[in-house]
Amino acid sequence: MRNLAFFRPSEELSQMLMEEEGLDLPRAGLHGTILKFDISVALMRGFVPVLSMLETEPFEVEVTGIRDYRFDRRSFVLTLNCPKALVGLRQDMMREFMRLRNERGGSISNTMSFYGSLDGYEPHYTISYGDELPDLKHNYIGMRMMIDRYFISRKMGGRYFPLTSFRLGAPVLI
């Protein structure tokens, strides 16, 4: 089943975007994807405790630009910087995911996969719009926000539903 690890923007940024006219924010809420991955329900039970033990400090992201989203003509992205802690969190998740997959044997490689690579990660928030990109009321470039939590959601019936969340900082046993 498809899963998504992500972080949320600040309340201030979310509120500013809701004030804009002509935008269509994601049903699951605005989010910055860390990792998309497919994993069975049974294997996810082994992955969640591993995620809870990752030691990543909270980090700050900054909106660095606005550009067209290359995969959808009716979307744009707020590009974000890529702090070392975020890159480290993504790498740790991918490493643990591959470790779990290898521990369970090659026979399950078709039931466990992730999307993306260690290189080329570009954090961003994707925002859809109607027929044409509206003039934005607010200046988003330079906005900074602290990220101290990330979330895991599972896709079911075309929508993502929350599974769990993790506070960044010291690991917590669950």
Question: Domain holding 38: CATH number?
Answer: 3.90.1140.10
150 neighbors 89 (Cβ within 8 angstroms): yes
Residue 11: inside a domain = yes
Quick check: is 172 in a domain?
Answer: no
> Is residue 7 assigned to a domain?
yes
**For the whole model, what pTM was predicted?**
0.86
User: Is residue 159 situated within a structural domain?
Assistant: yes
pLDDT digits (tens, 9 = 90+) for 79-108: 999 999 999 999 899 888 888 877 775 444
Compute the C-alpha angle 138/8/14, nearest 5°: 25
10: containing domain: 2-167
User: Exposed e or buried b for every residue in 105-123, given b needs 16+ CB within 10 A?
Assistant: eeebeeebebeeeeeeeeb
In a domain, 173, yes or no: no
Amino acid at 92: D
- Domains: count for the chain: 1
112 or 160, greater pLDDT: 160
Higher-confidence residue of 129 and 118: namely 129
Contact 2, 36 (CB under 8 A): yes
Do residues 21 and 162 touch, judged by C-beta distance below 8 A?
A: no
Tell me if 174 is assigned to some domain.
no
155 lies in some domain? yes
Read off the pLDDT of residues 35-79 as tens digits, 9 standing for 90 and up.
888 888 888 888 889 898 898 999 999 999 998 776 666 788 899
